Amino acid sequence: MKEFIILGVVTFFSLVTYYLVEPYAHHVMHPHVDSKHFAYADLPALEKVGNAEDGANTFMAGGCIGCHNVESIGMMTGMDALASAQAFGGVNPPDLSNAGTIYDEKFLADLIRNPAHATMVEHKFSDVKPHPMPPFYGAGGDMDQEVADIVAYLKSIAKPAEEITPAMAYNNACGRCHSLKYEGWTQMGEKPNFKYKKDELRYDANVLEYQEGVTKYMGKLPPDLSMYYKSRGAHFIETFIEDPQTHLAGTAMPRVGVTADSAEKIVEHLADSADTKRVERESIAKNVMIYLLIFTIFAYLWKRQVWKELH
Amino acid sequence: MAHFEKAKSIHDWLDQRLAIDKVNKVMQTEYWIPKNINFLWAMGMVLVITFMMLLVSGIFLLMYYQPNIATAFDSVNYTIMREVEFGWLWRHVHAVAASVVFLIIYIHMFTGIYYGSYKKGREMIWISGMLLFVAFSAEAFSGYMLPWGQMSYWAGMVITNLFSLGSLEMNGIVEWIRGDYVPAQAFLTRFFMLHVLLVPLAIMALIGIHFAALRIPHVNNQDGDEFDYDEESAKYLAGDTKGSKVIRFANDFLSKDLFVVAVYLIFFFYLVFWNYGFAMDPVNFDPADGLKTPAHIYPEWYFLWSYEILRPFSKDIGLMAFGFAQVIFVLLPFLDRSPNVAPANRRGPFAIWFWLMIVDLIALTAMGKLPPEGIFSTIGLYAAVTFIALWVALPFITMMEKKK
C-alpha cells in the first residue's frame, strides 16, 4: 500500500511538470488558431449555375491557356517550368487539368476576377505593381455567368477527388514554390535520375535559377517542406494553408484556396515525407507492448516466488 | 608460481583462474541489501537499463550519423529516419531515453535527499552521483548539438556564450570552445567527439566509482535504521531469511528490481511509440540557420530550472546565481548539519524544506520554458530567489533539528 502512495506522489509531480512544460507552455507560445473548415466565408458564393460547354469557349477565348498548361486536354504552352516562371512573373503558373477538384469553387471564381484578393496578398500589389496573373475582365456578357461557366468547365475536365493523390495535390498547390527534398521534389518538378554528371549539374543550375526568380517574387526563398510535418504539426499546416495571414500577418505566402479534401491530402503528403514510418511504428508498437506485458507478468511471478521466503 | 590442479570441470577450471565463485559471492549472493526498502530503491537498476539502451541505440545511430554541418541534419532526418531499417526506432529510443534518464536521475536524487542517504558515511555516494549528473548533462547537451537543427545551433550559441562570463567579456574563451566565431564545423566535430567518446568514458568510469562508493557504507533503508550487517547476514545464511533484516542482491533484490524495470519499460516504450514529442523539440526539425533566430529558445526540460535561475537577474548576477545552482547540490552532505538519517517527514522543519524545494524546482522548470514576460518573469524571479534562500537557510534549519 505504501508503495502505491509513493508511486502516486512521484507520478503526480512528474505529470504536473510535464503538463506545464509541454501542453501548457506550447499553448502559451503558439496561440491556438481554429480551423474554419475551408469554408472561405469571406468569398462570395457563386450566384449563377455554370455551364461547362460555354465555359470551355470562354476559357479558350479568355487567354488562360496563354500561360497555363492544361495537360489533360493537350493544351501546352510549350515552355518548361523555368522558362514559364521567367516569362510569367517568378512562379510557374499551375497546370489547370485538375484545378476544378483541387481548389475550392468560390476561390477559383474570386481568383479569376481578382487574383491578389483571392490569395490575400493585396498588401504586396498595387496598380503600379500588379499581380502577375491578369484578372479576367469579362468576355462582354454577364460576367458572373462567365466566371461560373469557367469554374464549371474546370470542374468538368478535372479528375474526381478519389483520383487526386496526396502528391498531386501538393505538387500543384505548393510544389511550385516549395521544394520537398526528401520526396525528390524541386520547384521545377520531380528531379529525374541522370546518367551523366553534367546533365545533373545543368538541371541543378536551372533549379537555382528558378529559385532566384521565386526569391525575387516572394522576398525570400520559400522553405523546403520536407520536415514541416514534424516541425509545425498537422494542425498548424492545415490552418496555415487555409489562411496564412492568421499565423503570419503580412506574409507573402498566398492563400492557395484548396478544398478541405486537398488540404488533408497535402498534410498526408508532408507526413509521408517527415514521418514516413508511422504505419510501421504503429504495428511494431503493438507487438512490443504484448511482449513487455508478458515479460512483466513473469517478472512479477519470479519476484513473488523469491520473496515468499523473505517476508 | 601459483599451484594449479587438473580441473574437474569447466567451472572448476575457471574458478581456479578467475575465482568466479568468490566474485559471485562478493558481487551478488552475499552482497547484502536491507530488506526494508521500496521500489524507489530500484531506480539505480532502472538507470543502468536506460543507460544500456542509450549505449546500444547510440552505437546503431553512430553507424549512419555524419558529423558534417552540410549533411548532419539529413543523415538523421532522412537517412536514419527513412532509409535505414528500424533507424527510426533507434532514434526514438535514443531521444526518449536521453530525456527519461533525467526524470529517473531526479527521482533517484530526491529519493536520496528525502531519506537522508547522503550523509554519515554515504557522502562519496552522493558526490559521485552528482558528478554523474554533471557528466550526463554534458552528454545530453553535446548530443543535442548533433542533429544540427535550429535548437542545436542556437542552444549551442547561447550556452557557449555563457563562458564569456558576463561583463568580463572573455570572448577568447568562447571562440576557443567553439573553434570559430560562431558554431560551425569545428564546433560540431568536437561536440561529436565529446558525445561519442570522452563523456561516455567519463560516465562509465563514474558509474564504477558510484557503485564502489556504495559497497562500504551499504544502501540506506526506508527508516534510516543502522544495523549490524555481519550479524544480520549470518542470520540469513543460517536459514532465518524471514527474521533477517538483510537480503541477497541476487536473486532477492534483483527479482524486485527486474519487476520494477519491467513496469518501467512499459512506460518507456509507450513514450517511444506514442508520446515522443516531448523528447524531440519541433523547432529542431528546422535545419540550423545562423541568420534566423527562433522566436523562443529554451533548453530541454531537465535544464529548465537552472536556466530560469540565470534568466530573471541582470547579466552578472544571473551568471553568479547560475554558477551557485550548478554546484550547490554537490555540497548537500556538508550543508545539512543534522546527524539524523531519517525520512524527511520525520525531521521537522527539513520536511518543509524538502517539499518547498520540489515545488520551487517545478516552478522554475515551468517558468524556464514559458516566455519571460509579465507574470511568468515575476514568478521566475521569486522562484529563483527562493531557491537560493532555501540553500542559505539549510544549515540553520538542520542545526536546530533535534537529535534522534
Q: Establish if A78 belongs to a structural domain.
A: yes
Q: Establish if A24 belongs to a structural domain.
A: yes
Average pLDDT, chain B: 96
- Picking from A243, A247, A213, the residue whose alpha carbon sits closest to that of residue A119 is A243
Same domain, A22 and A48: no
Q: Establish if A37 belongs to a structural domain.
A: no
pLDDT over threshold 80, residue B201: yes
Q: Do A274 and B77 touch (CB under 8 A)?
A: yes
Is A295's Cβ below 8 Å from some Cβ in B? yes
Same domain, A177 and A167: yes
Q: Do A13 and B358 touch (CB under 8 A)?
A: yes
A:182-221 residues touching chain B, CB 8 A cutoff: 182
pLDDT over 90 percentage in chain A: 94
Where is B307: in which H helix or E strand? Answer: helix B304-310
All 3 cell numbers of residue A131? 499581380
B:280-299 residues touching chain A, CB 8 A cutoff: 280, 282-287, 295-296
Give, rounded to a whole angstrom, the gap between the first and last alpha carbons of chain A.
15
Same domain, A252 and A161: yes
Write down the residue that cell numbers 522554475 correspond to.
Answer: B364
pLDDT over threshold 80, residue B37: yes
Same domain, A141 and A162: yes
Given this model, what pLDDT does residue B401 score?
Answer: 87
A:5-44 residues touching chain B, CB 8 A cutoff: 6-7, 10, 13-14, 16-18, 20-22, 24-25, 28-29
Given this model, what pLDDT does residue B3 score?
Answer: 87
B:201-240 residues touching chain A, CB 8 A cutoff: none
pLDDT over threshold 70, residue A302: yes
Is B381's Cβ below 8 Å from some Cβ in A? no
Given this model, what pLDDT does residue A140 score?
Answer: 87
Same domain, A65 and A195: yes
Q: What is the mean pLDDT of residues A82-99?
A: 95
pLDDT over 70 percentage in chain A: 100
Give, rounded to a whole angstrom, the gap between the first and last alpha carbons of chain B.
55
Residue burial A199-230, b: 16+ Cβ < 10 Å; e: rest? eeeebeebbeebbebbeebbeeebbbbbbbbb
Write down the residue that cell numbers 567518446 correspond to.
Answer: B197
Q: What is the residue-wise DSSP string for B287-319?
A: BP-TT---S-----GGGHHHHHHHSSS-HHHHH
Write down the residue that cell numbers 487526386 correspond to.
Answer: A164
Give the torsion sign (CA, B11, B17, B21, B24): negative
- Picking from A130, A145, A128, A149, the residue whose alpha carbon sits closest to that of residue A60 is A149
Beta carbons within 10 angstroms of residue B145's beta carbon:
25
What are phi and psi for residue A190, nearest 5 degrees?
A: -70, 130
Q: Establish if A38 belongs to a structural domain.
A: no
Same domain, A63 and A3: no
Torsion on CA atoms A299, A302, A304, A306, rounded to nearest 10: -140
Q: Residue A118 class from Cβ within 10 Å (0-12 exposed, 13-18 middle, 19+ buried)?
A: buried
Query: What confidence tier does A1 reach under pLDDT thresholds 50, 70, 90?
Result: confident
Given this model, what pLDDT does residue B1 score?
Answer: 67
Q: Establish if A267 belongs to a structural domain.
A: yes
- Picking from B380, B259, B305, the residue whose alpha carbon sits closest to that of residue B137 is B305
All 3 cell numbers of residue B152? 542545436
Same domain, A218 and A254: yes
pLDDT over threshold 80, residue B403: no
Q: Establish if A259 belongs to a structural domain.
A: yes
For residue B261, the chain A residues in CB contact (below 8 A) are: 299
Given this model, what pLDDT does residue B402 score?
Answer: 77
Chain mean position to CA B253:
22
For residue B287, the chain A residues in CB contact (below 8 A) are: 227
Given this model, what pLDDT does residue A168 score?
Answer: 97
pLDDT over threshold 70, residue B221: yes
- Give the CA angle between residues B26, B256, B265 to the nearest 5°: 115
Give the torsion sign (CA, B312, B315, B321, B324): positive
Beta-sheet strands, E only, within B36-147 = none
For residue A289, the chain B residues in CB contact (below 8 A) are: 266, 269-270, 273
d(CA B334, CA B400): 15
Write down the residue that cell numbers 513496469 correspond to.
Answer: B263
Same domain, A298 and A229: no
Given this model, what pLDDT does residue A139 score?
Answer: 87
Q: Establish if A283 belongs to a structural domain.
A: yes
pLDDT over threshold 70, residue B404: no
Q: What is the mean pLDDT of residues B238-248?
A: 95
Q: What is the mean pLDDT of residues B366-378?
A: 94
Same domain, A253 and A166: yes
Same domain, A300 and A236: no
Q: Residue B35 class from Cβ within 10 Å (0-12 exposed, 13-18 middle, 19+ buried)?
A: buried
In order of A63, A152, A154, B123, the CA distances from A51 in angstroms are 18, 6, 11, 87
For residue A7, the chain B residues in CB contact (below 8 A) are: 39
Computed on alpha carbons and rounded to an integer, the radius of gyration of chain A in Å comes to: 26
Same domain, A118 and A227: yes
pLDDT over threshold 90, residue A69: yes
Host domain of residue A23: 1-31
ipTM for the predicted complex: 0.95
pLDDT tens string A157-202: 999 999 999 999 999 999 999 999 999 999 999 999 999 999 999 9
Q: Establish if A294 belongs to a structural domain.
A: yes
Chain B: closest CA distance from residue A31 (Å): 13
Same domain, A77 and A170: yes
Q: What is the mean pLDDT of residues B114-132?
A: 96
Q: Which residue type occupies B287?
A: P
pLDDT tens string B337-363: 999 999 999 999 999 999 999 999 999
Close Cβ partners of B341 (under 8 Å, ≥ 6 residues apart): B115, B116, B117, B119, B120, B220, B224, B226
- Picking from B145, B144, B137, the residue whose alpha carbon sits closest to that of residue B183 is B145
pLDDT over 70 percentage in chain B: 99
Total of domains in chain A: 3
Q: Are B36 and B225 in contact (CB under 8 A)?
A: yes
Domain assignments of chain B as residue spans, ordered by start: 18-297, 300-404
Among A182, A284, A309, select the one facing B82 at the smallest CB separation. A182
A:156-185 residues touching chain B, CB 8 A cutoff: 181-182
Query: What confidence tier does B173 reach under pLDDT thresholds 50, 70, 90?
Result: very high
- Picking from B208, B57, B70, B189, the residue whose alpha carbon sits closest to that of residue B132 is B208
Q: Give the bridge partners for B287, in sequence order.
A: B149
Close Cβ partners of B81 (under 8 Å, ≥ 6 residues apart): A276, A277, B87, B88, B91
CB pairs under 8 A between A and B: 133
B18-297 falls under which CATH superfamily? Answer: Cytochrome Bc1 Complex; Chain C (1.20.810.10)
